[in-house]
Structure 1
């Protein structure tokens, strides 16, 4: 581990003030930009999208609980409170560290004196055949909307195919029982339990299955055992079928082949197993560690570079940190402060993570929270109190008062208002075509597993 220092490459830019370029408008990138608000620098924020996405609530968009606009924030609006900030829409293709230039896929480029890489990561399919082609992730706004429309397409198609004799089977599979997987499975189960009997009378909720697959022995591995047990109990009570210690061998258009060789028919498969660095990062000439993440020193400078920092999920340093919003935000702030220090001749400081705790929700009035307290202590909450804390923290963390208000109204309507059973937010669904629907050929060849009918409890 190299010690923090004041050394940095001399400013090569022809600009009047040092130019700081930040790649990525997520928690880390915006945290870094804000930390430089009072510094005598020009800051350019670069992102391939024109908006910031609040990823912890994307599953609510995917399960028709929130509008996409509720969890996105126009990045150019950040300039309203920071006049030394500008925005450049683009995707970084390469980094010329010798000449201090970032080149974009659109053919343009931008020079920098200091660079912060905060691009985030992408879905990791772990080389599973068919996973990238036939599953849906929830890592971007568009992915969440695509999943939402796929869910309602399958519901409408199942309803249209009911001939009055045999109620169709419908299975939705979630792979990965981390926070995203658990929250998605819980939301899907509540949608089935609360709304299906009212808005889809053609379907039998007992023949609509939500299956959560996890290679490990329990759901939500980072949490303490009693919190994991609580989450597992709540999932089962909501009718989620848990397949623990189960691997996925292959994914096809018709379903999932498990490690045992069994085939689980499914038209909706959500992939929530983990993340990795985007492939393009390997061409940037920066050192990479586990998962393709960029290696950094204690002060968040990229190993071997004096004026390039990496923060958030894309960075991996001497200490292992959870890939969550709080570490990313805090790293971004520290990187920004360290650049401000270098510009004024002061030493950089090592990053120290202040753990504020973690939380996850299973559904209405059911959540777990591990909240950090001073002096290394923590408090664990479950049930309604944890759920209320989860609601408050997620709404308060959103960017923009409009988003906070809209999210509050939508979540209150979803969970507490009398109309919550029939208030999904949906998009476009293609018309069902019976002719184009062919039987699953693979199901004929392999042993097919159809989940047993579940006892649906709508009282949760």
Structure 2
């Protein structure tokens, strides 16, 4: 039995690792995010393993700071590094640019498609699937065109374009009603992405752009954060959640909880019977695993994540592992959250169990070390919790800065981001306020 949909014409086998030395194992890692990158780095230390890392993009992205790119606080290159550069000098790691379309768990192959649409197959001894997650529109995929999410650099620069363009268009608009709508920003979803994005939009409107326009007052922009649940940031304790809502309100963000969005279009949103006109709507209301998990034939949860065994392998397929945001990891009735530390730990752990299998040793069930959660609410404000420790305000914000700089890959990126944040803190300036066009062609 195969775990994939039969193909009319199987793609040719791709020899990414020809003539392996006797005893060397080929491990394919799908995805260059936190989980995949760390799995590959761990495996690279063992000369008995040949690793092929496959990703549809050539860069590793630090997703927790995407909202900073979307609000002109950082440049894309500040939070992204070439994947190949992470394996310079590692002869047993190869990087392949392409999109995995099919996986044959029974026969142990993956099918990869390049930008031209040409598909090939590659065989493996072990597989690490770390394909990550994407935003969920809860069955309303047509909303995406009007309310982009925030998972990729392309989405971040598109949101930046929309935000900055809204102020420029409002400056040129003579109709007061239309001008007001252009300066209405709606963020759907009260998780960390929504909270951080809403706070940053309010901050840029009130401290960065406020002196740059002549006909409009940017600080009059309305920023509305809409959450279907009873409170923001449900992963945090109730007191921290309320603190975040209070901080957002003081920044000028209008917080609406217990409010479910029922329609999204080019002119705004609908919440039940209430219509809200808005020039910009941004989405952060839910996530689901990459659609690749749906071709595996494995058991999935409601978010499309693979329900893995204790050693992170797919039940029934001990040589295939799922890690990071694509994995449903249940430890003692608690599902591990989709956070960077969890992804990093699961990537390392899958690599550890692969090496154990090669050695003939028993595998070890995954043990998660909870390093806490954090969220920033504009400049100077944040909340954090780890164990019984709770931080708020400026102290939490400083801790948030330190942790995020620490997790960035590359010394240059750490220095650049630290300097950008220092400059922004001291002078209320943002150096990445570029409006890029979607059309690359020059117009006459």
TM-score by shorter chain over 0.5: yes
* 2:70 alignment partner in structure 1: 62
Structure 1 residue 86, shift from structure 2 partner: 1.1
* 2:93 alignment partner in structure 1: 85
* Counterparts of residues 297-308 of structure 1 (less than 5 Å): 297-308=309-320
* 1:380 alignment partner in structure 2: 390
1:367 aligns with 2:343: no
1:34 aligns with 2:61: no
Match of 2:330, SS? coil
Kept after mapping to 2: 8 A contact 1:152/1:429:
no
Kept after mapping to 2: 8 A contact 1:162/1:168:
no
Structure 1 residue 98, shift from structure 2 partner: 2.9
* 1:49 alignment partner in structure 2: 57
Taking structure 1 as reference, are residues 386 and 165 closer, same or farther at Cα in structure 2, changes over 3 Å only? closer
Taking structure 1 as reference, are residues 359 and 300 closer, same or farther at Cα in structure 2, changes over 3 Å only? same
Match of 2:170, SS? helix
Deviations 1:294-334 (A, max 9, x none): 12100001111020000011011333011110111100000
1:201 aligns with 2:221: no
Kept after mapping to 2: 8 A contact 1:58/1:144:
yes
* 1:250 alignment partner in structure 2: 263
Alpha-carbon distance between aligned partners in 1 of 2:314 and 2:185, rounded to the nearest angstrom: 42
2:132 aligned to which of 120, 125, 133: 120
Kept after mapping to 2: 8 A contact 1:59/1:183:
yes
Structure 1 residue 13, shift from structure 2 partner: 9.1
Structure 2 unmatched runs, 5+: 1-16, 440-444
Alpha-carbon distance between aligned partners in 2 of 1:187 and 1:263, rounded to the nearest angstrom: 24
Structure 1 residue 89, shift from structure 2 partner: 0.6
* 2:245 alignment partner in structure 1: 232
Taking structure 1 as reference, are residues 19 and 423 closer, same or farther at Cα in structure 2, changes over 3 Å only? closer
Structure 1 residue 164, shift from structure 2 partner: 9.4
Alpha-carbon distance between aligned partners in 2 of 1:332 and 1:223, rounded to the nearest angstrom: 25
Kept after mapping to 1: 8 A contact 2:26/2:52:
yes
Q: What CA RMSD, in Å, does the superposition of the two structures yield over aligned residues?
A: 2.1
Taking structure 1 as reference, are residues 165 and 392 closer, same or farther at Cα in structure 2, changes over 3 Å only? closer
Taking structure 1 as reference, are residues 41 and 421 closer, same or farther at Cα in structure 2, changes over 3 Å only? closer
* 2:187 alignment partner in structure 1: 174
Structure 1 unmatched runs, 5+: 1-11, 373-377, 432-460
The 10-residue stretch of structure 1 (200-209 or 356-365) with the greater mean CA deviation from structure 2:
200-209
Structure 1 residue 167, shift from structure 2 partner: 6.0
1:288 aligns with 2:318: no
Structure 1 residue 99, shift from structure 2 partner: 2.6
2:435 aligned to which of 416, 427, 437: 427
Where relative contact order (Cα < 8 A, 6+ residues apart) is larger, the structure is 1
Taking structure 1 as reference, are residues 248 and 128 closer, same or farther at Cα in structure 2, changes over 3 Å only? farther
Match of 1:73, SS? strand
Match of 1:306, SS? strand
TM-score for both structures, normalised by structure 2: 0.89
